[in-house]
Amino acid sequence: MNTVIPRRRSVSENVTEAILQMVRSGELQPGTRLASERDLALLHGVSRPSVRHAIAALTRMGVLETRQGAGTVVAASSENVLKAPLEMLLLMDRPPLEELYEVRELVEVHLAGRAAEHRTDADLDAIRAALTAMRAAAESTAEQIDANVAFHEAVARAAHLPLLERFVV
């Protein structure tokens, strides 16, 4: 019998979740300045580096932003970010890479089938252009990666399922 032991969240992940909850509940509105690292550390009973890590994670997610002279504030676009629970889950829980690849493969196979059925001529042109770019990509790893991503994005968009498209894009 395989027993999966849930991964414990780090202190910074707990702080990240607490700040997210404050944004979700409306306690922190877009444009609201966050308390200082010191005050947040005291509030949550954690170290300043844990708070700093949480703020960095929320900034990468687009929930917070740093403004010159204003400090860290809740981003105006935070509502859009919070409507994307899949991205939040992936950023917070960090599932094993193998599991992500398996889920992505399942989604991409479905999206490819849908794209074949629902694509428009413009979608097909975008897929062909991305495929041509993949074939023409120089030895540069960055070019190859960019071309590959563009191809997968074009196929996902051609499926016309925006929710599933998020798994790929």
pLDDT at 85: 57
Q: Choose one of 31, 58, 85: the last residue of a domain.
A: 85
What's the pLDDT at 52?
93
Q: What percent of the chain has pLDDT over 70?
A: 80
- In the chain, what is the straight-line distance between the N-terminal and C-terminal CA atoms, in Å? 36
Are both 24 and 70 inside the same structural domain? yes
Task: Give the model's pLDDT for residue 90.
Answer: 64
Domain count, the chain: 2
Considering the domain architecture, whether residues 81 and 20 belong to the same structural domain is answered as yes
Q: What is the pLDDT of residue 59?
A: 86
- The parts of the chain modelled with pLDDT lower than 70 are 1-7, 77-94, 97, 139-140, 166-167, 169
Closest C-alpha to 64, from 25, 32, 111: 32
Residue 111: inside a domain? yes
- Which residue range is the domain that position 134 belongs to? 95-168
Do 158 and 119 share a structural domain?
Answer: yes
Which of 65, 61, 53 is closest to 13 using CA atoms? 53
Specify whether 104 is located in the same domain as 81. no
pLDDT confidence of residue 49: 92
Domain final residue, candidates 85, 115, 141: 85
